[in-house]
Structure 1
Amino acid sequence: MTSWLLLAEAGAPEGGLFDLDATLPLMVIQVVFLTFILNALFFRPIGKTVEDREGYISISRADAKQKLAQVERLETQLTEQLRGARQQSQHLITEAEQEVDRLYREALAMAQAEANTVREKSRQEIEIQKAAATQSLQVEADRLSNLIVDRLLASR
């Protein structure tokens, strides 16, 4: 190393495009040394941090994809359950409407039958009262006619 320093001190002709003297190897050594120092102090920790972040991002991305797939699966299942529930509720509504219609028809039939029964009883009562009134009027008419005949015969 001393020989290089002596060469660096020796006078070299100046003025050329490139001066090749002992400073070139010294600069190369400094650059290599600084590269190792910078690599050890700055680039490795920053590289490790970047790699950790990339690992975290890739893990987070994989988790997100997995959760997204799970959400899509659950969404599909819930859609199917909702479709089934809608069909079941539609079926129940149809059955309820049919049951209400059947009960309405039964109630209407019972009401009509009861109305017919009441009407028939009323007609029979009216017939009985009509017959009684006719009988009463017949008796009264016979009595009045007998009275008229008796008066006519008595006045002659």
Structure 2
Amino acid sequence: MTSWLLLTAADAASSAAASAPEGGLFDLDATLPLMAVQVVILTFILNALFFRPVGRAVEEREGFITTSRAEAKKKLAQVKRLEADLTEQLKEARQQAQKLILEAEQDSDKLYRDALASAQAEAIATRETARREIESEKDRALGALQVEAERLGSLIVDRLLAAS
């Protein structure tokens, strides 16, 4: 159809050129409305074949981008909320860990003090037992020495009396 219009326009232009007087800047004849019709028809054809599908593709792309951005914002908000929750859980876990460490230190300190007190009590008891044993041995030794001294003293007295 476009070629028919072009041929018609060319014939009209040649016939108009033959009958029109020369010398004007523009020749206003039948070619101007024919060209206007051709531009309008070409616009409709281009719009139907190229611009509408491209426009639809652009609109679909914009819709996809809009929904993707909305989903990304939702996911970002969810990530921030989860990050805040995890930060709070981590803070609580650290506090509990510090509390457990403090309790363990207190328990170990108490066990250390109990063991130290027990060891000191046992050492005191052992020292007391040893002191008593030493005292009893000392008393026995003194008793034995006393008996021996008396025996020796009486032996010396007997010999001195016998010698005199």
Mark the CA change 1:154 to 1:32 in structure 2 (over 3 Å): closer, same or farther.
same
Give the drift of 1:22.
Answer: 1.2
Give RMSD over aligned pairs: 1.8
Q: How do 1:32-43 and structure 2 match up within 5 A?
A: 32-43=40-51
Matched with 2:96 is 88
* Runs of 4 or more consecutive aligned structure 1 residues displaced over 3 Å after TM superposition: 4-8
1:77 pairs with one of 85, 94, 105: 85
Q: d(CA) in 1 for partners of 2:130 and 2:12?
A: 148
Seq. identity, %? 68
More deviation in 6-15 or 104-113? Answer: 6-15
Mark the CA change 1:7 to 1:45 in structure 2 (over 3 Å): closer, same or farther.
closer
Q: In structure 1, the residue corresponding to 2:65 is in which secondary structure?
A: helix
Unaligned runs of 5+ in 1: none
Contact 2:12-2:31 at 8 Å conserved across structures: no
Q: d(CA) in 1 for partners of 2:141 and 2:22?
A: 162
Give the counterpart letter for 2:75 in structure 1: K
Give the counterpart letter for 1:46 in structure 2: V
Q: In structure 1, the residue corresponding to 2:50 is in which secondary structure?
A: helix
Q: In structure 1, the residue corresponding to 2:20 is in which secondary structure?
A: coil
Matched with 1:153 is 161
Q: d(CA) in 2 for partners of 1:17 and 1:73?
A: 75
Q: How many aligned positions are there?
A: 153
Q: How do 1:1-156 and structure 2 match up within 5 A?
A: 8=13, 9-10=15-16, 11-156=19-164
TM value normalised by structure 1:
0.91
Give the counterpart letter for 1:152 in structure 2: L
Q: d(CA) in 1 for partners of 2:84 and 2:97?
A: 20
Q: d(CA) in 2 for partners of 1:62 and 1:131?
A: 101
Give the drift of 1:7.
Answer: 6.9
